[in-house]
Chain A
Amino acid sequence: MHVLRYIDDVVTLKLNEDACVGCGACTLVCPHGVLTMNNRKARIVDLNGCMECGACAKNCPVGALSVTPGVGCAAYIIQVWIKGKEKAACGGPGCC
């Protein structure tokens, strides 16, 4: 997305270009056009446009992509801080 941009230089998306087999699945599933195919290899073209949804990593057949998607919800993250990851729950049925 070009008009709406978020904080730069924080995204955890990583691509191992050597491992990439050029199947193109990542370019099909990314909702922000972060990756494109170039010379039968995937390439990240808009790292800061990534929202860490994990679709690319999930669908890469060789695990060339990695990302650490979280919940991204303030209430949940606060709970992790206070109660630790084990005990943190999502806000409950009324939340997301």
Chain B
Amino acid sequence: MVKVAMETDQSSCGCNEPQQNRCCSSKPLEMLPMYAPEDHRQTAADDVPCCGPPAGPASGMHEKPGYIVCRFVEAFADTPAGLVPRVKTRLAPQDHLGTLRVRVGIGRNDYKVAPGLYALGWPDANAPVLVTANYKLSFDFLRSQLAGVHAWLLVLDTRGINVWCAAGKGTFGAREIIDRVRSTRLDQLVNHRKLILPQLGAPGVAARQVKKGCGFEVVWGPIRASDLPAFLAAGCTAEEKMRRVTFSMAERMVLVPVELALTRKPLLWAALAIFLLSGVGPHVFSTSAAWGRGVLAVLACVAGVLAGCLAVPCLLPWIPGRAFAFKGALAGLAAGLVVVLAMAANPNLTGMSAAALIALATAVSSYLAMNFTGTTPFTSPTGVEKEMRRAIPLQIGAILLAAGLWIGAAF
């Protein structure tokens, strides 16, 4: 079944020199079937009688030994640049589960799709080319926003990293774009010479270098994939708000699970150290004290983690102070006080111990909140370095103070 591409804006065509034997209007794409038609042969009388249910479907036409066709592919288009998979624009439960999994930090360094050319809808030689990273989350976000759009998708090999981070690392860069355009023979596929790049790729891509390297001009698309349909419909122009990055509560909270997951191993080591320190006392080492007191300190530590990794991101605009280390310290102080008040009846909680717990929670929260600066879209690295020079010595001091008070409280 073939269709003429719709909704492609004329400005993305740019076809000034008609190619020989090819007119600027669409050349229909041939879509190949995924499966061979079922072969309904009847079994002959002398064949082995059927046992059990009928056999499952035959393998797809595009599977090859060593390769499986991805679940998000729904057809293959036969193009001048070879076979191009057309991807679904509706996410499957499997995709949502994958999103959930990487959002809690599991396997997010190996969540990729193969780089190269994909098709959305029924694009033709005039259809726009959208460029993205091969992090599957980026890929899924993009295709899920583009139902009804006909475009080519050029996926770069960013080693499974999202657009903005890859731009910072240089993997979403002019070199990779040029190489990918060449290797996919994109110039044989489209009549125009424009690539629509996500705006957040800009830190890694000098547009004029791309033009020089492969002849394609960079058009800066909106920041969010969800604005792409409107952007394309408006002839590849963006309103100002499409070009501004935001950091809403929802956008902050979605980062929290990974921040928490990254504290798992350090927390384990901290707990070990805490139990050892907690047992130190007049009887050299007491395991009952190690446990009885240790539990309190671990609780304070966890409170510090929740303050720095959960409360600070959530309440970011409302916590006083510009420096994140300061915001974290305030949140940690509050968390420490909560623990001390909640455990007030505990006999292990002397005055000195309480002070130690509060210092611990404050230091932990301050450090973790400071670390969160690397996950925000508005902190300058120069500013981060400035606040770190002041905050880290204070954080170390607070930890040492907490340890000293804690051990001292046992005597």
Contact = CB atoms under 8 A, between A and B. Distances in A.
Given A10-B382, A59-B206, A94-B109, A77 B243 contact: no
Given A52-B380, A69-B203, A1 B246 contact: yes
A29 B378 contact: no
B207 A25 contact: yes
B151 interface: no
Interface in B188-206: 199-200, 202-206
Given A1-B245, A8-B322, A74 B381 contact: no
Contacts of B204: 58
Contact of B381 (A33, A69, A96): A69
Contacts of B378: 1, 4-6, 32, 49, 51
B388 interface: yes
Contacts of A53: 168, 202-203
B323 interface: yes
Interface stretch (B19-27, B353-361, B366-374): B366-374
Nearest to A13: B380
Nearest to B200: A31
Q: Is the interface of A mostly helix, strand, loop or mixed?
A: loop
Contact of A55 (B202, B375, B381, B382): B202
Contacts of B167: 55
Interface residues of B, number: 47
Contacts of B380: 6-7, 10-12, 50-52, 72
Interface string B300-318: 0000000000000000110
Q: Is the interface of B mostly helix, strand, loop or mixed?
A: helix
Interface residues of A, number: 41
B379 interface: yes
Interface in A29-66: 29-33, 49-55, 58-59, 61
Interface string A60-96: 0100000011111111111000000000000001101
A73 B376 CA distance: 10
Given A72-B373, A73-B371, A74-B370, A28 B385 contact: no
6 contacts: A1-B244, A3-B317, A31-B200, A32-B378, A49-B378, A53-B168
Interface of A: 1, 3-8, 10-12, 25, 28-33, 49-55, 58-59, 61, 68-78, 93-94, 96
